Amino acid sequence: MPDSEKQYYKSAAERASQLDPSVPAPADIPEAGLLEKGVLSGVAGLIEQAGELKMDRAAFLKLTGFSFAAAALAGCGSAAEKALPYLVQPDDTLPGVANYYASVCGGCSAGCGTLAKDRDARPIKLEGNPRHPLNRGALCAMGQASLLGVYDTRRLKGPQVRGKDATWAELDEAVRGGLREQAAKGKKVRLLSRTLISPSLKADIAAFLKAFPGSRHVVYDPLSASAILDAHQATHGRRVLPHYRFDKADVIAAFEADFLGTWISPVEFAGAYSEGRRLRGHEGRFSKHFHVESGLTITGSKADERATVRPSELTLALAQLAVRLGAPAAWTGGAAGPLPQARLESMASSLKSAGAKALVVCGSTETRAQLIANWINHRLGAYGTTLDLERPSLQRQGDDGALAELVAELGRGEVGALIVLDGDVVSEVAQGPALAEGMAKVPVTVGLADGDNDTAQMCSFRAPQTHWLEAWTDAEPLSGLVGLNQPAIRPRTDARQAGLSLLAFAGKPSASKPLDHLKEFWKREIFPRAGKGRAFDAFWDDTLLAGFADTGAVEAGGHSFREPRIEAAAAPAAGYEVLFYPKVALQDGRHAVNPWLQELPDPVTKLSWDQAILVHPDTAKGLGLAQGDMVKLTMGGTDAVLTLPVYLQPGQDPRTFSVPMGYGRAGTDRFHSVGPKWLLAVPVVGEGERLGVNVAPLFRLEGAQPLTSRVGAALAGTGENIMLACTQIHQSLYVPSYMTPVGGRRVPIVQELSLEEFRKGASAERDDDIPSLYADRKFPGKRWGMAIDLTACNGCSACITACQVENNIPVVGREEVRRAHEMLWLRIDRYYHDGADGLETVSQPMLCQQCGDAPCETVCPVDATTTSEEGLNMQAYNRCVGTRYCANNCPYKVRRFNWFDWPAVPGSETLTLNPDVTVRKRGVMEKCSFCVQRIMEGRAESARSGEDKMKDGDIKTACQQTCPAEAITFGDLHDPESRVAKLAADPRAFRVLADLGVKPAISYLAQVRNTSSVPA
Amino acid sequence: MAVNSPRLTAFLIILILAALSLFLTPFVQTPGRNNGYSPKQPIAFSHRLHAGMLKINCQYCHFTAERGPHAGFPAVATCLNCHRYVKGSNPYNRAQIQKLYYYAGLDANGQPDPHLKPQPIPWIRIHILPAFVRFDHSRHITKGVTCQTCHGPIQTMDQVTQYSSLAMGFCINCHRDVDAHGLHGRKVHASLDCAVCHY
């Protein structure tokens, strides 16, 4: 039986009252706490603030008069609406029906396959390509949100020469001349980019480099994996990044590698990880996951056993494990090591017994740590099973050494021409300021970024490249797996593809259009490897439809292992340390200008918009700091001072402060216009200000290696306290004790089981068949339902962004989030429990439960919300009068009220709005509809096809479609063969708050942790 | 005459308000207001001639009615499929077809005119549903609902008029009716759920 007395907490205040009964429990309704802080101060506060505005009677009358006039105008008839037909009907376009184009996500360098959903020749949503072997239909929050980039109003309209608009011919002429002149002078020509995975672009780069002897292409990664590649150069003789196979691993030990959230290829890894932990009834393989980290990540939250170390102790922890597995004792230098003995023993014995099916991953940017990881993986025999070197990953190719050399060359003034292909290098790397200084000395600088960033603004020539949704290109994330990137929209600006620009600069302009240019390359390079005796055109068409071609292993490499030479790790310094970490949605900050990603509550902290210093609650108590206290953070080796608010984060290493990167980027001043337009609006950022502080210049350089941590950290309070935009305690599920059934007890809201007890037949606590006063409602046909597997869910929040894009959910801005006015239909509740073995975390996606006896419906005075004959809890926006009774009566707190008419997402001109979903107006209640537009479309599609029969799985909700862990299943509960019906009857299934008698249609499957000491 | 009876005053005020509301009602946007809307179109295209007399299938032009939510307006090229050859039998028809040529960028003889830029015909939209209503033509057409059920005797109209109110009651009545009595002798289920149209 599950431990039903287990106490979970959501906030530090709740934890404090659980630990010490003398501390009063936080208010029943968490929002009450906001009142004290003056955020929900209601009318009194507004009047006070209005007083400060000194609005006189005339101004007030003017404003009210305007709104009356507007209302009166709205009632009058409008001018005749035009219906403009096509001149010639395109073959493949039906009005109102979406087309899907297979492409490759350009959101990061992971290279996931996507399907771009086009309506009227305009992409409005991105989905993972279900046929693509990497991401198998899933996409992360960043990928989902990167759609906005194509409509970004900050994109350059066309090429520029020294800040003035120019034609491509003028620009090419000038750049070509400049390059030749510099080359003739013997100056160096350098290309700089983040990792590029397009083989056709690499061919163009090679052609460019050939035209300028001595020129070089420098590749860097803001989230560097250079140490992994360098370590493999040392141990395996090849500078490669292994393809990690989490699906094949029985035991995983991860050291500061957030592989489900931010590390290398999180969507692929989350799917594979989930595959290795998929329970079917009481059966199914279940891997064992150890995690060592400094802050809390979503990966660490899923771990079966977790330990925290300071960043400076990480390498020593790895050495400790290596020594325990037989490495020379000198590797630890005799130091005791930070890992507790019991945890170390458990980890070592599990890894050993798993042997080749073990996998050790390390996210450190230090080569020494990676060498130790390689040694352990080799020792366990994992190369060849869980680490694939034959078809290595190409998702990170950056070279820290090459970047350091470029910085040195720039400093010495040896570089005559620098072409920045993509990225914002001066804001992304430790050497940013030095790079900026060096770049100023370069006579010819060319930027290919399509928007304004700090690096591009320094370039004298701007040659904007097409957005990936406009480009004909390709992507090879794994050696031999080549995705084809076809455009989903005609270029919206006068941009040119990067490869074509480079060829033009080299004086060898391609005569062909982007499509033909790509086709020529594929005919030459890819087709001979993957064509298999077909005609090229047939091969091309098939690839275009599938979205990728698999050419098989490119080069077979043996695994001759060379023992690394590892010096003893230096003993870690005492005291506090600071870790700069990538957040799930922002990561290195490449999409910092994207409002969807900024508003997305961080999966760990639930902070939206705000950058904060994460501190362990006990540490903060010791330092006399409270949530929201503004502090000055100082650290060793730099004079820089970070002034940021404190956020109390359980699971944080007590001696480590974490600060997220990706903030303080050019273009974030646009968020000044986010949020409702009204008298008392508080902008997210001041006019012309940036959001947050960029911490990349604070990375510590050790040689060429950028270390994302510093020792000697100290916090000093400034005496100021601010309200953080944090949704952690918003909409907390709470049932008053008097609602507990007489003689009964409440079924827990989240449930966990240990694998051991589960294997022995334990099941989740259920609450079925409670008596009801209502007549049993009959659903004669289908009953739509959902199952959410908490074991699979890692909280990555891709579903939230997918829901936001699909359902036209507005961005509300920081001030509205502070007031608990966020509009997201789907949230992920996060529960903590201080277990005997450390922090345990459960993430629970919470959305409308589509109750059979819905409490919201009985209180609606106008019948705006009713239950459909298929069990959907419908919300008729046009009927709603905005009493908000329904939201008050919803035990799940999933209803959202439109306090305002929300302005368009800045920079998007609302071009991403889904035409199948009504845009809600002010004064209207809304909530999750189970993607009813997808149900209707699925139905219409089956009617059009003439069969009129929907199969299980034909309809996928947006959240389900994008889930990398396949945690969400949607379908007909009345079909006994449907997957969702089977899951609802699973031994792990329970329904949240079903003991209230509301008959929710969503089943949750309890989280299982592998507490067994041997691999299962 | 001075009015000094309070009762009469009240009566007059109510009378004036009632008269005012009666007068204002047509100007207020209410469902069904567009009933009978029949604007003059840029080209006097006659459904009576094409659909009624010549018996051209509705879906020759509105070809997406069966395949998607919108019935769709025919592309200019679709008109030219016939009108490249059919140039009109009387001066009135010829004048209309000349207008078509103008929009298609053709000269009086139907040959490409380099001075003209082809442009879409700016038809005036007649059947307009509010933004919070979804109607899928294909779901209805594939079930055998005829065009005339909602659009009326369109094959007799020279200038198209909105025949039905297209207000919610109109939809609900039909859904109730076919649910109870079937459609063309077949039993069908037409749901009355809000979310059938509103989402």
HEC string of A513-543?
A: CHHHHHHHHHHHHHHHHHCCCCCHHHHHHHH
Domain check: are A605 and A540 in the same one? no
Domain assignment present for A706: yes
CB contacts < 8 A (A, B): 133
Closest C-alpha to A657, from A730, A576, A721, A734: A576
Domain assignment present for A693: yes
Q: Which residue has the higher pLDDT, B5 or A857?
A: A857
Q: Is B22 on the interface with A (CB under 8 A)?
A: no
Domain assignment present for A350: yes
Closest C-alpha to A257, from A219, A303, A220, A221: A303
Backbone phi, psi, residue A598, to 5°: -70, -35
Identify the residue whose tokens are 């650290």: A635
Q: What is the pLDDT of residue A994?
A: 87
Domain check: are A295 and A340 in the same one? yes
Q: How many CB atoms lie within 10 A of CB A517?
A: 20
**Biggest CA pair distance of chain B:** 80
Domain check: are A357 and A469 in the same one? no
Q: Is A77 on the interface with B (CB under 8 A)?
A: yes
Backbone phi, psi, residue A885, to 5°: -60, -40
| CA nearest to B119 within chain A | A87
Q: What is the pLDDT of residue A17?
A: 77
Domain check: are A443 and A371 in the same one? no
Q: Strands of A349-443 (E only): list them.
A: 358-362, 387-393, 415-420
Identify the residue whose tokens are 């994460």: A614
Domain check: are A446 and A536 in the same one? yes
Domain assignment present for A379: yes
* Inter-chain residue contact B138 with A940, CB threshold 8 Å: yes
CB environment A104-132: b (16+ within 10 A), e (fewer) = bbbbbbbbbbbbbbbbeebbbbbbbbeeb
Q: Is B128 on the interface with A (CB under 8 A)?
A: yes
Q: What is the pLDDT of residue A736?
A: 74
Point out the residues of chain A with pLDDT beneath 50: 1-3, 28-55, 59-77, 1015-1016
Domain check: are A435 and A473 in the same one? yes
* Inter-chain residue contact A940 with B118, CB threshold 8 Å: no
Question: What is the tens place of the pLDDT at every residue in B78-100?
Answer: 999 999 999 988 999 999 999 99
Q: Strands of B79-145 (E only): list them.
A: 123-124
Q: Is B26 on the interface with A (CB under 8 A)?
A: no
Domain end (from A706, A721, A736): A721
**Biggest CA pair distance of chain A:** 91
Chain B partners within 8 Å of A879 (Cβ): 194, 198
CA distances (Å), B15 to each of A123, A768, B1, B18, in order? 56, 62, 18, 5
* Inter-chain residue contact B76 with A97, CB threshold 8 Å: no
| Gap between the Cα atoms of B139 and A87, Å rounded | 27
Q: Is B195 on the interface with A (CB under 8 A)?
A: yes
Domain assignment present for A600: yes
Domain assignment present for A894: no
Domain count, chain A: 4
CATH number for the domain including A424? 3.40.50.740
Exposed/middle/buried for A627, CB within 10 Å: 0-12, 13-18, 19+?
Answer: buried
- B171 to chain A nearest CA, in Å? 16
Domain check: are A442 and A544 in the same one? yes
Domain end (from A522, A550, A578): A550
Domain check: are A183 and A308 in the same one? no
| Gap between the Cα atoms of A276 and A287, Å rounded | 6
Domain assignment present for A630: yes
- For residues A788 and A1004, the answer to whether their CB atoms sit within 8 Å is yes
User: Which candidate in B121, B194, B196, B197 is best for mutational testing of the A interface (most A CBs within 10 A)?
Assistant: B194
Q: What is the pLDDT of residue A19?
A: 75
Domain check: are A456 and A533 in the same one? yes
Among the partner-chain residues A83, A95, A878, the one whose CB lies closest to the CB of B198 is A878
CATH number for the domain including A623? 2.40.40.20
- B2 to chain A nearest CA, in Å? 35
- Rounded-to-5 percentages of helix, strand, coil across chain B: 45, 5, 55
Chain A partners within 8 Å of B67 (Cβ): 94, 97, 944
Question: What is the tens place of the pLDDT at every residue in B26-80?
Answer: 666 555 567 888 999 999 999 999 999 999 999 999 989 999 999 989 999 999 9
Domain check: are A539 and A663 in the same one? no
In which domain, by residue range, is A663 found?
586-721
Question: What is the tens place of the pLDDT at every residue in A206-260?
Answer: 999 999 999 999 999 999 999 999 999 999 999 999 999 999 999 999 999 999 9
Domain end (from A721, A736, A766): A721
- For residues A568 and A244, the answer to whether their CB atoms sit within 8 Å is no
Domain check: are A234 and A216 in the same one? no
Domain check: are A299 and A372 in the same one? yes
* Inter-chain residue contact B198 with A876, CB threshold 8 Å: yes
Residue B162 pLDDT more than 60? yes
Contacts of B184 (CB under 8 A, 6+ apart): B144
* Inter-chain residue contact B134 with A916, CB threshold 8 Å: yes
